[in-house]
Amino acid sequence: GMWEMFKSQNCGLISLREQFDTSTAAGEMMLYNMANLAQFERRLTSERVSASRIDRVSRGLYTGGVIPLGLRKVEGKKGHLEIDPETGKMVRLIFETFLKEESMSRTAKWLNDNGHRPKKDIRGGGRIMRLSQFTTGSLQSILKNKSYIGKISYMQNGEEKESKAVWAAIIDE
C-alpha cells in the first residue's frame, strides 16, 4: 500500500501528534499496529451494520433503498410500508394486463397507449429515475418484485432467503 510506496522512495513518517517515527523499528511497528486497528474497526463496523440489516429484513422490515411502486412508508413506524392507494391500483393493473397480454412488450404498449404512466417521485433511498413511460425493463423489475406478494428476498452468507414482509400484499401469488 501507501507505506510500501513511501519506503521504496526512502521516505519516512514522523507524527507529532502520536509521537512516533517510522525510521525506527518501534515507530514502524506503531504504524502497522495503528493501520491494523483501523482496518479491524472498519470491518467490525461493517459486520455490525450487515448483521443489523439482516436482522431487520429477516423480521420483514423495509431496510432502505427505493420504495417499490405501489408502496409507501408508514409515518412513525420505521421499516413499515403500506399500500399506496393510487399507485397500488396501478401495480394491480400491471399484473392483470400482463396476465391478459402474456408479453412484457405488449403489456408496456397497452399501458402506455392507455395513458398509464409510472409515478415520477422516488421515495426512500436510491438514485434511480423512474421513466416517463413503461418499458419491458421497468415492467420486468415490477413483475419480479416479491414485495408485491408481501415477501422480502435477501442474501445471508451467500444463500438467498425470504421473509414475510410486515406490509400487506398488493397481489396474491
- Number of Cβ within 10 Å of residue 168's Cβ equals 11
Mean pLDDT, rounded, for 45-65: 88
Cα angle: 114, vertex 117, 120; to 5 degrees: 170
> What pairs with residue 163 in β-bridges?
152
Residue 61: CB atoms within 10 Å: 19
Residue 128: pLDDT over 80: no
| pLDDT number for residue 18 | 72
Which residues make beta-bridge pairs with 159?
A: 156
Q: Could you tell me the pLDDT band of residue 14, with boundaries at 50, 70 and 90?
A: confident
Which has the closest alpha carbon to 70: 88, 89, 86? 88
- Secondary structure element (H or E) that encloses residue 39, with its range: helix 25-58
Residue 167: how many CB atoms within 10 A of its CB? Answer: 20
The closest of 140, 144, 160, 164 to 152, measured between CA atoms, is 164
The pLDDT mean for the chain works out to 86
Confidence grade of residue 63 (pLDDT, cut at 50, 70, 90): confident
Contact yes or no for 107/101 (Cβ under 8 A):
yes
36 vs 14, higher pLDDT: 36
| Percentage with pLDDT > 70 across the chain | 93
Q: Which pLDDT does position 99 carry in this prediction?
A: 94
The band of 20, judged by pLDDT with boundaries at 50, 70 and 90, is confident
Bridge partners for 82 per DSSP: 72
> Which single residue is written with the C-alpha cell 521516505?
11
* pTM for this predicted structure: 0.68
- Contact 105/136 with Cβ under 8 angstroms? yes
For the ranges 66-70, 82-86, 97-101, 124-128, which has the lowest average pLDDT? 124-128
Question: Which residues does residue 161 pair with via DSSP β-bridges, in sequence order?
Answer: 154
When mean pLDDT is compared across 13-22, 147-156, 159-168, the lowest value belongs to 13-22
